[in-house]
Amino acid sequence: MWIRKVNLGSLSDLNFVTKPPSNDDILTYDSNQSKWIPKSLGITNSLSVYTLELDRWNVKNDGTDAVNTSQGINNALVWASQQQGYTEVVLPKGIYLIDKQNPIEPQSYLTLNLNGSILKMETNKLTGYAIVSFRKNQIYSRVTNGVIQGDRDTHDYSSGGTHEGGYGIEVGSFIPPADGGNNTRFVSLDNLDILDCTGDAITLNSTFGQISPFPTSLASSFEQGAINTTDGSLVSSTTKIRSTLRIDMTQVAIVKYGYFGLYGNGYGALGSDIKCDYYDVIFYTLSDVFISSKNNVQFFDEVEVPKGASYAKIVLHQGNVPASTNCLINVRVPSFPQYTYIEKCNLHDCRRQGISVCGAKNVYIRDNNIHHIAGTNPQSGIDVEDGYDLNQYIYIERNNFHDNKNYNIIVVNGKFIYILDNSIMNTVSNAYVGLAVNGGTDRVMVAGNNIRLTKISLSGDVIFSNNYVYGTQINTQGVYANRSINIVSNVFCNSKMIIDTPFPYVVKVDSCRFFNDADKLASLSSLYQWTLEVKNEPQIISNCVFEGQDVLYLNYVTAGTFKPGWIFENTLFNNVKNPTLFAGTYTNCFFKEIDLLGATSKTTSLELRDCKFISTDRYNTLLTVNNLKSFKMINCHIEKPNGTVLNVQNVSDDIVLSGNVIKITNDTLQRTIVILDGEFAGKQAVIQNNTITAVNLTQVGIDNRTASNTLQVVMQNNMLNNATMMITGKEFLQGNVVNGVLDPYYRIPTIPTTGYYRLGQEIRNSNPIAGGYIGWVCSKSGYANNQTWIASKSYVKGSRINFGNHVYEALNNGTSHTISPTFSTISSDTITDNDIVWKEIGLLATFAIFGQINA
């Protein structure tokens, strides 16, 4: 080795100090040193790493001389990567003060290993800066193993404004240098501690990239028709429209980057008349010869330009030609980062964000600790925002978020966003949310996360699945009819969900468990006093479990905004407090160990099908139905130890009770089981095929207290065990078995004296004897009554008398006059009799005997 050096000893412009020569080395000239240095033709791993020489590059690692330190490090990086072929540069451990005007610029195909050092921003008063900057289209570049620290605590904010543009690392810029660009690829940032920046720890930025034709020209250029994508010829079409303009493929930006596309305006909007998601691009040569086409391109995607293309035309997949004012499509060549990896970093104590994604694709944010972000809005751990649908394929995985001021993760715009397996803890401000998926997002997956003591807002197109959520408020507020919110297979412990969406059936909650324990009643009682709150349009909840007590009740309906039509399917309500049944349909639901049920008061319908109710309450009515248009309970099973099961009050249309099994399991008090209340003024009540059983005492199984003359009540094929029926006589009764007797209300020992009977209705003699009759038939519809008016007699409220073939009912307690009053024959008219008021209720029924029994 040293023999070779002796042989070259006559040369004075050699440098063997930095790298002594070894076997098979060649000499290369280094213009920075003005010397020849040895270099290996095939650099091995050990020789591909360069440790930066402080004196050689005039770099200080004692926290001084920012200008020379920044310049020296950048010079060394260029030399090592571009001139010497090194793949890694290692900084000697220390503190490097970075020039506010000259960030460190990592190079392509190079790792910058900080070796535990600190890159510290010098104190300044700039509204924006970067400590490390990628703005020159770097590829395969990495920064690792050190600390990047801003000047937050010593910064001069006196110029006003937010000073939110101070970044630890910027990948791309809204205004890149003329000799640079944002099209970075495969940039890796790992094992870094980034803190104290006046803005973000890390920011990813894009350019707008406007090219011609400009939006106003394009908007007015569409006509009906398409372009054949196999030969480029114009064809007629009623389902597509084409632009008459040519898009020049020789524009500078297209030539530089090799792509273009159709995008929205500065706010991501395409225009209200743009209804499609896809378009075609057809390429031609300068001489108008078809080259190729790209089919089914989505807005905000890039279209690669084929070799030899001079211009292109576009076809939108919609039949309507937009009004020029309602088309905002922009032809653009945006520059933006792709394949950016942010891994195993500690991002904290920055003022604006931990990470901002403002136009990037294929971003992988993994295994980071992001915390204590506070100072200037939005104050979020991660914010995916500017750039709109240019933000695509963002993977936020296995990170730990906690103690950030307003948000942990907020996704304002973008598509194909994956938020997986993170720990998302409480934010400092309860007014904000730990996780927000806003309405401008598409195809967002939130899965496998542990979310605690914060708030969640879901408004965009999202699947929220397999998350464990504790002590958290979840708001679902869909803002677009075509963007569904799917909440699947989650556990919500001691939490509260608010469903408030202006479009029906956008939200579906499926296979989730809502569980409350003692902590909700004690520690969280002031935050979450119920589990489910609903507003606005109806949604779907299926295959869920609601379990455990709430402070006030299981669910809450916001008056004035609630809409009917909610759907509950295959859902268990176990030991919950006073659940309210929403207007809509419950199918195959199980209410276990509940006290009582409420029902929303709304002029619409409630339907219970194939449900099971097990109540532990002995005293209260299980369900009171009021202010509904209709009510149906079909094929349900209900058990209650004692008390009324159902009280139907004001239902305006019809009720159906069919195929239900109702059982009073341990009755010690007399309580009617099913009540048709006197307030019921609907058109029809059908009670059929039910089984009603009392175990201990003989209870009133069905009590019809209705008084309407127009109501049709049908009671048929019911079975009552140890229970009776209270009827008015106006019902249609058939096939009911009461305590083993078929239709017992039609069997009496004497001519009827109470009740209402229809023309032709037969009443059987319950004590037939030879020479007697089988029974009686009603020959004139009306009320049976054998009491006539008597002077000076005391009557109680509800007493009935007949006078002149009409029947009258006392409306109060009192004593009749000594002289008979003039009884009106006008229906429902009232008559004063001393201190009694009588009301005409109908005609007096008459009966004829039939079926003489021979001796």
**CA-angle at 421, arms to 419 and 427, nearest 5°:** 75
Position 514 pLDDT exceeds 70: yes
Percent of the chain residues past pLDDT 70, beyond the cut:
95
Longest dimension (CA), the chain: 155
Strand partners, 787: none
Strand partners, 404: none
pLDDT tens-digit readout, 87-106? 999 999 999 999 999 999 99
Q: How would residue 266 be classed by pLDDT, with cut points 50, 70 and 90?
A: confident
Using CA atoms, how far apart are residues 343 and 201, in angstroms rounded to an integer?
A: 13
Least-confidence region, from 24-28, 88-92, 328-332, 362-366 = 24-28
Q: Is residue 695 classed as helix, strand or coil in its secondary structure?
A: coil
| Single-letter code of the amino acid located at 669 | L
CA dist list (Å): 742 to 92, 427, 644, 666, 768:
101, 68, 24, 26, 17
| Single-letter code of the amino acid located at 795 | Y
Q: Which one, of 125, 129, 127, 131, lies nearest residue 112 by Cα?
A: 131
Using CA atoms, how far apart are residues 451 and 476, in angstroms rounded to an integer?
A: 16
DSSP for residue 785: -
Q: How would residue 848 be classed by pLDDT, with cut points 50, 70 and 90?
A: very high
Domain boundaries, the chain: 2-42, 215-332, 597-748, 753-855
CA dist list (Å): 507 to 121, 235, 479, 562:
48, 41, 11, 15
Position 45 pLDDT exceeds 60: no
Is the pLDDT higher at 112 or at 34? Answer: 112
Q: Is residue 612 classed as helix, strand or coil in its secondary structure?
A: strand
Q: Are 263 and 330 in contact (CB under 8 A)?
A: yes
pLDDT tens-digit readout, 367-415? 999 999 999 999 999 999 878 899 999 999 999 999 999 999 999 999 9
CA dist list (Å): 675 to 145, 157, 607, 687, 826:
76, 74, 18, 11, 30
Q: What is the pLDDT of residue 386?
A: 78
Q: Are 241 and 318 in contact (CB under 8 A)?
A: yes
Q: Are 300 and 265 in contact (CB under 8 A)?
A: no
**CA-angle at 293, arms to 287 and 294, nearest 5°:** 145
Percent of the chain residues past pLDDT 90, beyond the cut:
81
Element (H, E) at 808: strand 806-810
pLDDT tens-digit readout, 463-489? 999 999 999 999 999 888 888 999 999
Q: If you write DSSP's letter for every residue of 123-192 in order, what string do you get?
A: P---SEEEEEEE-B--EEEEEEEEEEE--TTT---TT-S--TEEEEEEES-SS--TT-BS--EEEEEEEE
- Residues whose CB falls within 8 Å of the CB of residue 759, separated by 6 or more in sequence, listed in order: 778, 779, 780, 781
Q: Are 815 and 796 in contact (CB under 8 A)?
A: no
Q: What is the mean pLDDT of the chain?
A: 93
Using CA atoms, how far apart are residues 526 and 647, in angstroms rounded to an integer?
A: 34
Q: What is the pLDDT of residue 158?
A: 97
Q: What mean pLDDT comes out for the span 26-30?
A: 65
Q: If you write DSSP's letter for every residue of 315-369 in order, what string do you get?
A: EES-SSPPPGGG---EEE-----EEEEEES-EEES-SSEEEEEES-EEEEEES-E
Position 501 pLDDT exceeds 80: yes
Residues 808-817 as b/e (b if ≥16 CB within 10 A, e otherwise) read bbbeeebebb
Q: How would residue 627 be classed by pLDDT, with cut points 50, 70 and 90?
A: confident
pLDDT tens-digit readout, 630-660? 999 999 999 999 999 999 998 989 999 999 9
Strand partners, 612: 590, 637
Q: Would you state the structure tokens that stand for residue 802, as one six-digit string? A: 């007949």
pLDDT tens-digit readout, 160-171? 999 999 999 999
Q: What is the pLDDT of residue 789?
A: 96
Rg (the chain; Cα; Å): 42
Q: What is the pLDDT of residue 596?
A: 81
Q: How would residue 2 be classed by pLDDT, with cut points 50, 70 and 90?
A: very low
**CA-angle at 198, arms to 196 and 199, nearest 5°:** 110
Using CA atoms, how far apart are residues 249 and 268, in angstroms rounded to an integer?
A: 24
Contacts by residues 71-75 (CB-CB < 8 Å, ≥ 24 positions apart): 71/99, 71/102, 73/104, 74/102, 74/104, 74/105, 75/32
Least-confidence region, from 51-65, 103-117, 619-633 = 619-633
Q: Are 205 and 174 in contact (CB under 8 A)?
A: yes
Using CA atoms, how far apart are residues 532 and 750, in angstroms rounded to an integer?
A: 58
Q: What is the pLDDT of residue 42?
A: 44
Q: What mean pLDDT comes out for the span 826-839?
A: 95
